[in-house]
Amino acid sequence: MGAGIGGSALALSLAKLGVDYVLLEQAPAFAEVGAGIQLSPNGVRVLETLGLGDALAGFCTEPDFHKYSVWDTGETILRTPLMPRVRQAYGHAYYHAHRADLIAALTGGLDESRLQLNTKVAAVGQDGARAWADCEPGERITGDVLVGADGIHSLVREQVFSPDPPRASGYVTWRGVVERQKIADLGVPVSAHVDMGPRLSFVYYWVSGGTRLNWLALGQADGQKRESWSQTASSSEVIAAFDGWYDRPRRVIEATDETFVTALHDRNPLREWVAGRIGLLGDAAHAMLPYHAQGAVQSLEDAWVLARILAGSGGDVAADLARYQALRMDRAHLIVQQSRNAEGWYHLADPEAIARRNERFRRTNEKLDGGFSPQQHWLYSYDADAAALGTDDDWRALRPWS
Ligand SMILES: Cc1cc2nc3c(=O)[nH]c(=O)nc-3n(C[C@H](O)[C@H](O)[C@H](O)COP(=O)(O)OP(=O)(O)OC[C@H]3O[C@@H](n4cnc5c(N)ncnc54)[C@H](O)[C@@H]3O)c2cc1C
């Protein structure tokens, strides 16, 4: 249940592997969400397996490097390779996409007869033989397994696993999308950019085949902000936060027609994601802060692993779900934790701490010498198919963050 990136990918994966499903989505239609998304090769691998390779190549951009730069001069102090090196090393691209394009590609491949829009699930349950979803205004859908891919505010998580609310990080992201012609004179390269300053960071990259620049400004805001994708903000509030920065961030924000603000939340790790015939997937299982750009990518990994296991089921679906959890939970929870840890260095305020961070980045840049970081390798090398078949556990032996 839930036709976001995770639920749609699960439905497509099940269809590809010949497993019947019904996808329940509360929204009456797939609406455009005006934001970009980074797709690392561990997720692109799943999308290409689902037959979306040509579609992705059509609307994505291929960034050349991850670049971390200094707020007042724009000097790049750490640069790690992306395209084409990522494809050479891991067999799949690193892409930047507009979410609307990605959702359209995923849902465009769904069998309409298995998709129920405008169907809000109000309660879920199970007995020894079936799992069910009770939908408003009174329809019960039953099946062998029920998967809650219903996002950070998951009803399934709340009813079956834990009533704890999402955890507010105390930070927000302002964000926007700018047409290329409005900022063409800035000559922004096709890279994954992070400009790090005191208290806030500015993340930006090209989407929609390079016709629009997507940006996020991560920092602290005055007043209460909601965990919502549609709350607007005044761009002057954001521009003021960039006082003293080099030109590019301010120019990009000034050129933006509509600015949004989202309060950043994640979830404390659960002890269990599965109970009998009911399981969680994506943000419902492991909502994380966006600093490693892995939330949606992890939902893609979940989707393929779970579909593979269900496709090979011997009939004991509770055992199948337990296997899914055993294969997926430690990886996703480590990223939840590391995304929290990364928060600190995105928002440093003390000038000495900033100088120390920048020195560390410069040293890392020298040490990597144009190669991938151990963290990148750990993330990118994951092969969801091999993991589901139990033939690739190499990534578990790696300890990139220790
Ligand atoms: C600022 C920001 C930047 C990010 N950048 C990246 C990035 O670059 N790369 C990346 O991989 N991830 C990124 N993420 C994370 C990513 O957006 C999420 O992890 C991902 O969208 C979660 O997908 P999902 O399918 O699990 O949940 P959702 O997208 O939330 O989908 C849940 C679906 O369930 C439906 N639903 C909910 N309740 C019900 C119900 N009761 N009945 C029926 N349907 C229901 C909803 O309508 C929705 O369609 C970012 C997140 C943020 C906040």
Query: Given ligand 1 and candidates 25, 46, 103, 134, which is best to mutate, with the most ligand atoms within 8 Å of its CB?
Result: 25
How far apart (Å, rounded) are the C-alpha atoms in residues 193 and 341? 20
**CA 128 to centroid of ligand 1, rounded, Å:** 31
Chain centroid to Cα 78, Å, comes to 23
**CA 95 to centroid of ligand 1, rounded, Å:** 18
What residues of the chain score a pLDDT lower than 70?
Answer: 32, 34, 223-225, 402
Residue labelled with tokens 């799949």: 92
Question: What pLDDT, on the 0 to 100 scale, is given for residue 211?
Answer: 96
Q: Which of these is catalytic: 90, 95, 204, 205? A: 205
If DSSP codes are grouped into helix, strand and coil, which group holds residue 49?
Answer: helix
Question: What pLDDT, on the 0 to 100 scale, is given for residue 223?
Answer: 67
Rounded to two decimals, the pTM is 0.97
Residues 6+ away with beta carbon under 8 Å from 262: 172, 173, 175, 225, 226, 227, 228, 229, 231
Query: Given ligand 1 and candidates 22, 26, 216, which is best to mutate, with the most ligand atoms within 8 Å of its CB?
Result: 26
Concatenating the DSSP letter of every residue in 154-190 gives: -HHIIIII--PPPEEEEEEEEEEEEEGGGSGGG---S
What is the set of domains in the chain, with CATH numbers? Answer: 5-62+86-166+267-346+374-397 (3.50.50.60)
Q: Based on the residue annotation, tell me whether 205 is a catalytic residue of this protein.
A: yes
**CA 76 to centroid of ligand 1, rounded, Å:** 31
Question: What pLDDT, on the 0 to 100 scale, is given for residue 402?
Answer: 65
Neighbours of 84 (CB within 10 A): 12
Q: Which atom of ligand 1 is nearest to the CA of 150?
A: 34
Question: What pLDDT, on the 0 to 100 scale, is given for residue 109?
Answer: 87
Q: Which atom of ligand 1 is nearest to the CA of 120?
A: 42
Question: What pLDDT, on the 0 to 100 scale, is given for residue 233?
Answer: 82
**CA 360 to centroid of ligand 1, rounded, Å:** 33
Question: What pLDDT, on the 0 to 100 scale, is given for residue 225?
Answer: 67
